[in-house]
Structure 1
Amino acid sequence: MRIICIAGSGRSGSTVLEQMIAAQGGIAVGEMKYLWSRGLMRGELCACGRPTPECPFWAEVIVSAFPDGLAPARVEALRRRVERHRILMLRRLIRLPSARYAKDRAEYLAILRRIYAAITAVSGRDVIIDSSKDPAHVDLIRELAPDATILHLMRDSRAVAHSWGQPKRRPEVHWAEEYMPRIGALRAALDWVFINLATSRLFARTPGYQLLRYEDLAEGRAFVPSEGNALVHSVSGNPLRFDTAQKPLTPDRRWLTEFRGTRRLLVTLLTAPLLLHYGYRLKPEDKGRAP
């Protein structure tokens, strides 16, 4: 079993990258951290179009991993005690000891080990692509599978902030009209800095770490997730995962014209050191295109 874990901030193109990798073989499971809450408790749609509890793939995985039954609410409560940014800061970065945390972490790791083993067995694929992104989740995967590949996906902070401000319907919520959360430019900038710094601090010097930029993903190509070797049963992620039509892989650069004024200046100022560190220009429009 090989796990490819996509790390980085939200709205950085992880669904595109996940499906690109899945097209080469393997199984895309989406944001696995939400399997318990969004998938099994709320019954949101799997990428195959069925509610996750009714998806034949996930039904077989759950029975295989937990033949004696599973209480998703209990697992989700356990996950929240282990897999949160505040906990990550206290227990892993600052290394503040806690016997309760160590016990909960070991128990949740045992659950993850069973679920990933079942995914491999049921899918018949040796490669699992997990696009959960959050450092706290990636940290667990690194402990679970020390040889995991960590793809740190970077995207220009201004593009990320612009994306967080756009309304985007969640088609996986099939019983109501619900939209993905929208956050302001200030919070988007601070989250971008924290997540990317934490990701670098925790994983940049470990085997299997690779830094990728969204803007550098191949342009002018096309992929069809439903064809070839792709197997996609993602439980959460960008609505793009439901679109099986052929599409061009061209970076979304709408932020260059739509994200301007005070918001853009604020995000640029707050994220400038990291932007420069990762090779971005502070005025990308000066040369006609973003980096």
Structure 2
Amino acid sequence: MFLGGLGRSGTTLLERLLGELPGVVPLGEVVHLWARGVLADEPCGCGEPFGRCPFWREVGERAFGGWPRELAERVLALRHRVDRTRRIPAVGHPDLAEYVAAYDRVYSAAMDVAGGTVVVDSSKHASLAFCLSAGGVAPRVVHVVRDPRAVAHSWRRTVARPEDGRPMTRWGAMRTSLHWSAQNLALDLLSRWNVQVTRVRYEDLLADPRTTLTALATELGLDTRLGFLDGATASLGPAHTASGNPMRFAVGQVRLFHDDAWRGGLPAVQRAVVSGLTAPLMTKYGYRGAAA
């Protein structure tokens, strides 16, 4: 299963919730595994450095006989040539098969190690979803959408990465709007490739977690037992996620609440910029306009 959408749209939260369902194995953002996990040895979601995490060590052994630096560098070089948004939907690069095979090996090995039936990759990038589909992996895509004004507000905030304390990337309103539109349009386009795409709005998930998760799990053919969910509180266990939003480290009782801080925190000028640039898709996804 592939979770797509622009960063700060709730994909990590959804992955953590899905990861509590029987048989579901959350992997985090596999697209960043090669640089942040193999090369930089950043912590797994369980808290252990990637190279010392028993889960990822076993996955590497089964998939590649280990995690050699040369492998990560090769996959990153292939990504630069193959996995680019501007190449959608013309993803017929001669290196595509080799690139996709690396992900396929990771998915298969992770499923075997965890004893699961479904793996979740929350890499977000529509281009990777296209590559996987064109390369024969055929993921089931869950398209996660969030109000672009809330996304823009999140991207402008200063947030420290728990892995190293450095500030996470920040974007302005215009850049966020353009990327929000590009990613969501590309994910919409996937359905024309006969890829199964299910859309979930972040706001609906937070407004009624049980109903939204039950409907999604039913559509995806997953187990619908939500014993970890009590109203608006989720009980989360450790997850072996290679990369992702800081909440991938959350363990225990997590309160699910709708974050609408953008209403008071996003300056009026930036709100107008975002609303203007994203208006067609905002309407399509059911968001009200600039006056909302």
Which category describes the TM-score, using the shorter chain as reference length? 0.7 to 0.9
CA contact (8 A) 1:30 1:233 kept: yes
CA displacement at 1:73 relative to structure 2: 1.4
Which ranges of structure 1 fall in alignment gaps of 5 or more residues?
Answer: 286-291
- Judge which range, 181-190 or 215-224, deviates more: 215-224
Alignment of 1:129-278 (within 5 A): 129-143=120-134, 144-146=136-138, 148-173=139-164, 177-203=165-191, 206-217=194-205, 218-219=208-209, 220-226=231-237, 232-278=239-285
AA of the residue aligned to 1:282: G
CA displacement at 1:141 relative to structure 2: 2.9
Instruction: Report the equivalent of 2:221.
Output: none
CA contact (8 A) 2:57 2:66 kept: no
CA distance in 1 between partners of 2:33 and 2:280 (Å): 35
CA-atom RMSD in angstroms: 1.7
AA of the residue aligned to 1:44: E
AA of the residue aligned to 2:14: L
CA displacement at 1:87 relative to structure 2: 3.0
Quickly say closer, same or farther: Cα 1:69–1:181, change in 2 above 3 A. Answer: closer
CA distance in 1 between partners of 2:33 and 2:12 (Å): 16
Normalised by the length of structure 2, the TM-score is 0.86
Secondary structure of 2:257's counterpart equals coil
Matched-pair identity in %:
39
Instruction: Report the equivalent of 2:212.
Output: none
Normalised by the length of structure 1, the TM-score is 0.86
Which ranges of structure 2 fall in alignment gaps of 5 or more residues?
Answer: 210-230
CA distance in 1 between partners of 2:250 and 2:166 (Å): 18
- Judge which range, 79-88 or 10-19, deviates more: 79-88
AA of the residue aligned to 1:22: G
CA displacement at 1:210 relative to structure 2: 0.5
CA distance in 2 between partners of 1:87 and 1:221 (Å): 41
1:170-193: CA deviation from partner (whole Å, max 9, x where unpaired): 1123xxx21210011100000001
Instruction: Report the equivalent of 2:43.
Output: 45
Secondary structure of 2:243's counterpart equals coil
CA contact (8 A) 1:43 1:53 kept: yes
AA of the residue aligned to 2:177: A
- Judge which range, 111-120 or 192-201, deviates more: 111-120
CA distance in 2 between partners of 1:75 and 1:190 (Å): 27
Instruction: Report the equivalent of 1:282.
Output: 289
CA contact (8 A) 2:272 2:290 kept: no
CA displacement at 1:203 relative to structure 2: 2.8
CA contact (8 A) 2:29 2:121 kept: yes
**Residue 9 (str. 1) matches residue 16 (str. 2):** no
Instruction: Report the equivalent of 1:33.
Output: 31
CA contact (8 A) 2:275 2:290 kept: no
- The alignment of Structure 1 onto Structure 2 pairs a total of residues equal to 265
CA displacement at 1:113 relative to structure 2: 1.8
CA displacement at 1:250 relative to structure 2: 1.4
Secondary structure of 2:27's counterpart equals strand
Quickly say closer, same or farther: Cα 1:136–1:184, change in 2 above 3 A. Answer: same
AA of the residue aligned to 2:87: I
